[in-house]
């Protein structure tokens, strides 16, 4: 019997209690952490006073070995593909500019308009860095079909949980080494755990961009959300940049940057340190790394959009540039899928067919609303948003399409539902909520980076992976959004 019809193996309550003790202690010891929730009644203290462990899965998730290997290989093709898409201005203008999504989506319009202004002034960003994550689900529509891996989406901005996931992979390795999972399955052996060096890998991308900028003393700027709870995932990249490369980081929000950012005569980005009372010298920025800016909620006012564009008008490497952010839109994923479009960006020898094989069908709602309503039960509708909680699933589709103004259909894509094997369960542990057993669906993410710009060879690497697991009666994913827990890969044949 395949593990995908029955997983995990039987385990006693006593064994689970022991695994939970070891897992949560490991999590607290290894920064698998969040800041606690804040609320208007309970605003955050000026400096963190406590942390909680991030939601975790007790037993790693089986993934067929050959599919995992394929996903890692495929990342190189995806890195190249999205770098080329971001450099194809007229392609992106056509889809996202006036006459396309910009006409009906204020968020996309604000980003596109800012980018266009910079181009008109002759200041497109010299170098783009993408820290990417390509997300997949296992797909097996019926039990007698072979399992394959299908792409959910490709993230080009604020791809998160790389650092925490490396630690969770370490946690599962520790549980295997320390308990052997009490012999519940011969598959739970450390030889079936792939290595995970995502932190070093992502940091290598940032360091490569820093070196390309060419000012060793410059700092990398992390643009962050106010009251971000997932700070440790970000800080681990900061610490590794310092420890492996001697590169220093500053973190500021858009609201802070509204007043602290300035451009020198040669358009070097210079940031005033805060608070001013500390009288720290201003710093030059080599790379702007956005862990904010992917959602309209990140821009409190038009000033914040202006600040984003102001930063992008500098010489600093943009991770990502607005072009690269737009390239990661679900609408672009849908257009790439149309006959012959992907093939304009990737040759057969660069893996175009393998990329196509990783897709399920998508189409635009403006040409396929009827089909979307007719086949609602097998579909999800997606707008041009990131970060979870925006999609419309199955039986909600017909009413939604009925109410959506016709001209807004262009900003929505329909996507066939990927259908994971049904026999997999997991033990999900959340601080304050204890442990639950659930039928589970796991999403594999593969990290990569690409550094590119006009007249420069694309440099890119595949650098690591993550797994997020959720109960199978939940449609959405996302750890920060509260749907998923962090997990890791168990390779099976
Ligand atoms: P977001 O940018 O909000 O993360 P996603 O495209 O990743 O948007 O969708 C959110 C979640 O919805 C995914 O993590 C996945 O769990 C689920 N999902 C998205 N597309 C599909 C699909 N085609 N089939 C099955 N589940 C999907
Ligand atoms: Mg997603």
Q: Which of 321, 397, 395, 366 is nearest to 104 (CA)?
A: 366
Cα 469 to ligand 1 centre (Å) = 12
CA-proximal residue: ligand 1, atom 20 (nearest): 152
Q: How far apart are CA 34 and CA 53, in angstroms?
A: 6
Q: Residue 282 in contact with residue 271, Cβ under 8 Å?
A: yes
The mean pLDDT value for 99-118 works out to 97
Structure tokens at 234: 């970000």
Q: Is the CB of 391 inside a 6 Å radius of any atom of ligand 1?
A: yes
CA-proximal residue: ligand 1, atom 2 (nearest): 386
Ligand nearest to the CA of 470: 1
Would you say 434 is a known binding-site residue?
A: no
The region of weakest confidence among 23-37, 39-53, 133-147 is 39-53
- How does residue 448 score in pLDDT terms, banded at 50, 70 and 90? very high
Q: Is the CB of 460 inside a 6 Å radius of any atom of ligand 1?
A: no
Give residues with Cβ within 8 angstroms of 258, minimum separation 6.
Answer: 303, 304, 307
- How does residue 263 score in pLDDT terms, banded at 50, 70 and 90? very high
| Beta pairing partners, 150 | 137
Structure tokens at 194: 């792939």
pLDDT over 70 (residue 1): no
- How does residue 450 score in pLDDT terms, banded at 50, 70 and 90? very high
- How does residue 472 score in pLDDT terms, banded at 50, 70 and 90? confident
Would you say 460 is a known binding-site residue?
A: no
Cα 443 to ligand 2 centre (Å) = 9
Residue of 153, 381, 384 to mutate, ligand 1, most atoms within 8 A of C-beta: 153
The mean pLDDT value for 121-133 works out to 94
Would you say 70 is a known binding-site residue?
A: no
Q: Is the CB of 208 inside a 6 Å radius of any atom of ligand 1?
A: no
What pLDDT score was predicted for residue 392? 97
Q: Is the CB of 417 inside a 6 Å radius of any atom of ligand 1?
A: yes
What pLDDT score was predicted for residue 357? 98
Would you say 471 is a known binding-site residue?
A: no
How crowded is the C-beta side of 178, counted as CA atoms within 13 Å? 14
pLDDT over 90 (residue 20): yes
Q: How far apart are CA 91 and CA 100, in angstroms?
A: 11
Residue of 152, 325, 446, 469 to mutate, ligand 1, most atoms within 8 A of C-beta: 152
Which tens digits make up the pLDDT trace of 141-169? 998 899 999 999 999 999 999 999 999 99
pLDDT over 70 (residue 39): yes
Q: How far apart are CA 323 and CA 115, in angstroms?
A: 7
CA-proximal residue: ligand 1, atom 19 (nearest): 152
Mean residue pLDDT of the chain comes to 96
Which tens digits make up the pLDDT trace of 285-332? 999 999 999 999 999 999 999 999 999 999 999 999 999 999 999 999
Q: Rounded to a whole number, what is the distance in angstroms from the first to the last CA of the chain?
A: 12
Cα 121 to ligand 2 centre (Å) = 34
Which tens digits make up the pLDDT trace of 58-71? 999 999 999 999 99
Q: Is the CB of 472 inside a 6 Å radius of any atom of ligand 1?
A: no
Torsion of CA 398, 404, 406, 412, to 10 degrees: -80
Q: Which residues are catalytic?
A: 133, 153, 155, 160, 330, 382, 386-387, 468
Q: Is the CB of 478 inside a 6 Å radius of any atom of ligand 1?
A: yes
Ligand nearest to the CA of 386: 1
What pLDDT score was predicted for residue 43? 84
Q: Domains in the chain, ordered, with CATH? A: 3-359+436-492 (no CATH), 363-414 (3.30.1490.50)
Would you say 279 is a known binding-site residue?
A: no
Atom of ligand 1 nearest to the CA of 152: 20
Q: Is the CB of 420 inside a 6 Å radius of any atom of ligand 1?
A: no
- Tell me the torsion sign for CA atoms 34, 39, 41, 47: positive
């Amino acid at each position: 019997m395949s593990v995908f019809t029955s997983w995990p193996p039987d385990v006693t309550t006593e064994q689970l209690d022991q695994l939970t003790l070891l897992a949560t202690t490991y999590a607290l010891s290894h920064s698998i952490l969040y800041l606690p929730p804040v609320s208007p009644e309970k605003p955050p203290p000026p400096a963190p006073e406590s942390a909680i462990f991030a939601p975790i899965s007790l037993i790693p998730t089986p993934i067929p070995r050959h599919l995992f290997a394929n996903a890692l290989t495929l990342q190189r093709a995806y890195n190249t593909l999205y770098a080329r898409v971001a450099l194809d201005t007229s392609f992106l203008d056509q889809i996202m500019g006036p006459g396309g999504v910009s006409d009906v989506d204020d968020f996309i319009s604000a980003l596109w308009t800012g980018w266009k202004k910079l181009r008109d002034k002759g200041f497109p960003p010299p170098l783009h860095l993408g820290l990417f994550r390509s997300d997949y689900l296992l797909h097996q529509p019926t039990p007698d079909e072979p399992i394959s891996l299908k792409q959910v989406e490709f993230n080009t901005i604020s791809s998160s949980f790389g650092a925490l996931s490396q630690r969770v992979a370490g946690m599962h390795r520790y549980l295997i080494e320390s308990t052997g999972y009490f012999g519940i399955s011969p598959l739970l052996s450390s030889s079936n755990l792939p290595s995970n060096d995502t932190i070093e890998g992502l940091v290598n991308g940032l360091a490569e961009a820093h070196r390309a900028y060419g000012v060793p003393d410059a700092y990398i700027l992390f643009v962050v959300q106010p009251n971000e709870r997932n700070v440790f995932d970000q800080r681990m990249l900061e610490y590794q940049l310092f420890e492996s490369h001697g590169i220093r980081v500053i973190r500021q929000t858009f609201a802070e940057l509204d007043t602290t950012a300035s451009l020198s005569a040669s358009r070097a980005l210079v940031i005033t340190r805060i608070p001013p009372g500390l009288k720290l010298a201003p710093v030059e920025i080599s790379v702007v790394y956005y862990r904010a800016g992917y959602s309209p909620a990140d821009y409190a006012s038009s000033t914040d959009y202006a600040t984003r564009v102001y930063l992008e008008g500098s010489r600093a490497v943009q991770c990502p540039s607005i072009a690269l952010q737009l390239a990661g839109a679900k609408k672009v994923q849908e257009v790439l899928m149309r006959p012959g479009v992907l093939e304009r960006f990737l040759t057969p020898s660069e893996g175009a067919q393998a990329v196509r094989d990783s897709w399920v069908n998508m189409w635009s709602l403006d040409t396929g609303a009827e089909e979307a309503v007719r086949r609602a039960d097998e579909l999800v509708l997606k707008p041009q948003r990131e970060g979870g909680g925006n999609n419309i699933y199955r039986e909600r589709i017909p009413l939604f399409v009925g109410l959506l103004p016709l001209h807004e259909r262009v900003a929505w894509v329909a996507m066939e539902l990927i259908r994971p094997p049904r026999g997999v369960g997991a033990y999900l542990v959340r601080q304050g909520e204890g442990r639950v057993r659930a039928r589970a669906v796991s999403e594999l993410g593969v990290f990569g980076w690409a550094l590119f710009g006009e007249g420069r060879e694309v440099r890119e690497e595949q650098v690591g992976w993550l797994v997020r697991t959720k109960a199978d009666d939940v449609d959405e994913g996302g750890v920060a959004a509260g749907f998923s827990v962090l997990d890791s890969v168990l390779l099976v044949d």
